[in-house]
Homo-oligomer: A and B are copies of this chain.
Amino acid sequence: MDRHHCAVVDIVEGPLDPAAALDFVSDPGFGGITLFVGRVRDLNHGRVVTGVSYDMFVPLALNGFREIAARADGDFGPKLKLYIAHAKGRLAVGDLAVVVAAGTPHRDEAFRACRQVIEAVKHTSPIWKQEHYEDGDSVWSEGCSLCGDEHGHAGH
């Protein structure tokens, strides 16, 4: 649907672009735009992080993004514009991992749609984060199981 932009961007192609997200979800009829940016932190569970590698099952992830967008459309549409983009590859601290933006006539729907979408992306998308630490160690993050309940648990 042309009101929904869903993308996976390999970091070697360049960083995610919040300005493009804001542009995409803008509309003369919209008063409210909410944007979420997820970035790689320098510290997790007390360990100094030097970078994060994102592994991804791309076709299923994109299909999932489109389903997430369609669900938000049902909940907050029919005018809702959505932008969902996730980075792939080896990111450094401060790099953008995910950008979600929602535009609607009024702000309440923009906030709720943006929040619902980022939660769904985090809990259901086939994406895996491997953290790299300053001591050279790397660990795949604990995550949300996709068994049974497709929405996983809310813990991460």
Contacts and interface: CB of A to CB of B under 8 A. Distances in A.
Nearest to A43: B29
Interface residues of A, number: 29
B41 A31 contact: yes
A42 B30 CA distance: 8
Interface string A26-52: 101111111111111111000000000
Contacts of A30: 39, 41
A110 B111 CA distance: 12
A66 interface: no
A151 interface: no
A3 B31 CA distance: 27
Interface of A: 18-19, 22, 26, 28-43, 93-94, 105, 107, 110-111, 114-115, 118
